[in-house]
């Protein structure tokens, strides 16, 4: 029941909104129990007792589902596949409640009791207004629930054949059409709002010039890392050698173009969960989680230096810059971003004084050392 215009991020956000329907679900369950039981006792139809019981049970199941989803969302956003599972649970419970309302209201309008028809009308309109107000994020689901609840009432009212009930059936039909239109209109508005919100969030966490993460994006990505035993996290810090002469000779526009091309190369070089960030003018940090051996961190460091040191073609000119890269590792459970950046920065400055290249930062206090083959670099690396 996913609309074609929804990206994964928008889809996940809209499914997450279903967890905010606890109160309307409770209200509808109470109303269905009260009105349904009164009508069932008044008419004495076994089918009504069954419909009311199934609707109240479905409301209780949906409330439990909402509460579980709220607790799950406290741990972070849903993955698209996980969101589909939650959505299916909502579909089952919502359709069960809608079918219960449709059965109850349709049965009542097949009887000549005007007092009961008045109660059924109030229940139907209350349910439909709740669907439009709270379920528009899943428009196909909401429209289906509206049809399940309202079509039996329309058919029963039309069955009477007299003028008042015919007019009532026509009114129900018009209101149903308007409700479905309102659902899809609200869905389109919600998509625009969520897309704007997501775009603003991305801008707040990304560097405008290169498209890489910025300091905030780096820190948030580090905070989301899983702290599992047996692996480490590496931080690579580097800046560009001979970048200032490029700006001085060719202008800042050429310098910006070089940084943009560098960002494009970095995006091609690293894949999630590895993250590249620009933290200053020509200063960059690469976050590498899930490191099992020091050689993995060194291998990525050398690939970065090799890829980014290749000549850049800027407006008919070919320029080259060097890199001074330092990296540091720490066990994931004890890793501290500021400490890793400090150690990697120190290694970067040390190797810059020797003419550029790759260097491994010293360990944090109390950490062990593991040898790493880093030509022209410090003869060691923090244990990975």
Residue with tokens 């018009």: 174
SS (H, E, C) 63-120: HHHHHHHHHHHCCCCCCHHHHHHHHHHHHHHHHHHHHHHHHHHHHHHCCCCHHHHHHH
Query: Exposure string (b/e) for 220-239, b if CB count within 10 Å is 16 or more?
Result: ebbeebeeeeebbbbbbbbb
Q: Which residues pair with 287 in a beta bridge?
A: 235, 275
Residue with tokens 């970095």: 266
Tokens of 85: 């599972």
The catalytically annotated residue of 282, 338, 339, 378 is 282
Say which DSSP state 383 is in: -
Q: What is the CA radius of gyration of the chain?
A: 31
Angle at 186 between CA 123 and CA 72, to 5 degrees: 80
Residues 6+ apart with CB under 8 A from 245: none
Cβ atoms of 141 and 135 within 8 Å: the answer is yes
Residues 6+ apart with CB under 8 A from 29: 55, 56, 59, 60, 63, 97
Report DSSP letters for 318-377, one per residue.
Answer: EE--EEEEEEEEEEGGG--HHHHHHHHHHHHHHHHHTTSEEEEPPPPTT--EE----TTS
Query: Exposure string (b/e) for 310-335, b if CB count within 10 Å is 16 or more?
Result: eebebeeeebebbbbbbbbbbbbeeb
Tokens of 73: 């969302």
Active site residue 282: yes
H-state helical runs in 206-231: 215-223
Residue with tokens 């741990």: 75
Active site residues: 282
């Amino acid at each position: 029941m996913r609309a074609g215009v929804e990206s994964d991020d928008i889809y996940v956000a809209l499914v997450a909104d279903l967890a905010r329907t606890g109160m309307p679900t409770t209200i509808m369950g109470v109303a269905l129990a009260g009105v349904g039981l009164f009508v069932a006792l008044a008419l004495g139809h076994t089918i009504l007792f069954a419909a009311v019981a199934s609707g109240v049970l479905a409301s209780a199941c949906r409330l439990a589902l909402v509460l579980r989803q709220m607790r799950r969302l406290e741990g972070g956003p849903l993955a698209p596949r996980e969101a589909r599972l939650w959505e299916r649970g909502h579909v089952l419970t919502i359709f069960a409640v809608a079918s219960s309302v449709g059965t109850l209201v349709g049965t009542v309008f097949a009887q000549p009791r005007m007092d009961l028809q008045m109660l059924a009308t109030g229940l139907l309109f209350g349910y439909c207004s709740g669907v439009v107000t709270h379920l528009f994020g899943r428009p196909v689901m909401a429209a289906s629930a509206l049809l399940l609840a309202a079509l039996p009432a329309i058919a029963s009212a039309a069955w009477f054949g007299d003028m008042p009930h015919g007019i009532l059936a026509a009114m129900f039909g018009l209101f149903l059409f308007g409700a479905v239109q309102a659902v899809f209109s609200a869905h389109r508005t919600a998509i625009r709002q969520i897309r704007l919100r997501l775009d603003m969030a991305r801008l707040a966490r990304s560097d405008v010039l290169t498209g890489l993460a910025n300091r905030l994006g780096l820190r948030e990505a580090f905070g989301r890392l899983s702290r599992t035993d047996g692996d480490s996290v590496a931080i690579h810090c580097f800046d560009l050698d001979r970048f200032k002469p490029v700006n001085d000779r060719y202008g800042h526009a050429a310098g910006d173009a070089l940084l943009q091309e560098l960002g494009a190369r970095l995006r091609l070089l690293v894949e999630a969960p590895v993250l590249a960030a620009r933290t200053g003018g020509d200063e960059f940090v690469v976050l590498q989680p899930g490191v099992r051996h020091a050689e993995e961190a060194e291998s990525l460091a050398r690939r970065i230096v090799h890829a980014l040191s290749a000549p850049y073609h800027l407006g008919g000119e070919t320029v080259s810059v060097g890199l001074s890269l330092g990296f540091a590792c720490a066990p994931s459970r004890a890793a501290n971003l500021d400490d890793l950046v400090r150690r990697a920065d120190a290694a970067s400055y040390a190797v810059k004084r020797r003419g550029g290249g790759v260097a491994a930062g010293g360990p944090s206090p109390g950490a062990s050392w593991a040898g790493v083959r880093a030509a022209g670099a410090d003869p060691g690396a923090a244990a990975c």
